[in-house]
Amino acid sequence: MRKQGYEVKQGKQISFRAAEQNRFTRMKTLGAEYTEIAVAEKIKLQQSQSNSIKKSITSFIDIEQKKKDGKGAAYEQWAKIFNVKQAANTVNFLTENNIDYQKLEQKIQYRTKQFNEISSQLKQKEKQIKEVLELKTNIIYYARTIDIYKQYQKAKDKQKFKKEYNEDIIKYEKAKVFFEKTNQKRLPKVKELQQQYQNLLAEKQQLYQQYTTAKKEMLEYQTAKQNMDKLLQTEQKKLEKDQEI
């Protein structure tokens, strides 16, 4: 907790206080799983587990909303346990990454920026792949229909010829328009385009792996902050209620 920027007070009961809090929070007020003995058992259990296994962070369940939606007492009890586990996962995540609450927003901004940059690169790569495929398709159409189009130009009865070879003529004309639109002064070989396509696919796959990792990390930090905010809000409401009494 100290590593996360909390002030910890040890007496008969362990309590902690965030920088923005006026009063200390006793751990036992967070539930039976947060007594000193329960926390010590959790730490002992976690230390015995493989460091390579990391629990994912999930947002807290809005129990009050679920009750309004018709969920019963059994679900409410399960949801409370679930939220306690997610609170522990959140604290563990912050501890493992050596991040205190005050630095969470910075981390979120950094991870979001990183995700957006990779996402932009991925979209650009997909655009390049699309362009290569379009060029390849039009070159193939052009090669297959150029002779027919030359015959069409020489035909005395163009209307009759076009009626018979209309599909090929349309493909040729579309290909010519595409070449002019994309400023294709020299048409590459289909084999060259196929190699370029394969290279782009490999680059896209690498980017997608980076994209998946960046997205996961961004969501983890966002969820961690949401959970911590809710924990602090819950504590603040308890303090306000105590003051009213």
Mark out the alpha helices in 57-100 (DSSP H runs). Answer: 63-68, 73-96
Residue 232 is inside which H or E element, if any? helix 190-244
pLDDT of residue 51: 45
CB 221 within 8 A of CB 111: yes
| Amino acid in the structure at residue 22 | N
pLDDT of residue 38: 61
CB 115 within 8 A of CB 109: no
pTM above threshold 0.85: no
CB 222 within 8 A of CB 8: no
Q: Tell me the domain boundaries of the chain.
A: 1-53, 56-98, 112-213
State how far the alpha carbon of 24 is from the alpha carbons of 10, 111, 232, in Å: 11, 32, 12
pLDDT of residue 235: 77
- What is the number of other CB atoms lying within 10 angstroms of the CB of residue 168? 19
Sign for the pseudo-dihedral over CA of 59, 63, 69, 74: positive
Count Cα neighbours of 200 within 13 Å in the Cβ-side half-sphere: 19
Residue ranges for the chain with pLDDT beneath 70 = 1-14, 16-22, 24-55, 242-245
Rounded (10°) angle between helices 190-244 and 101-154: 150
Which DSSP category does 157 fall into?
S
pLDDT of residue 57: 85
Structure tokens given for 198 = 């394969």
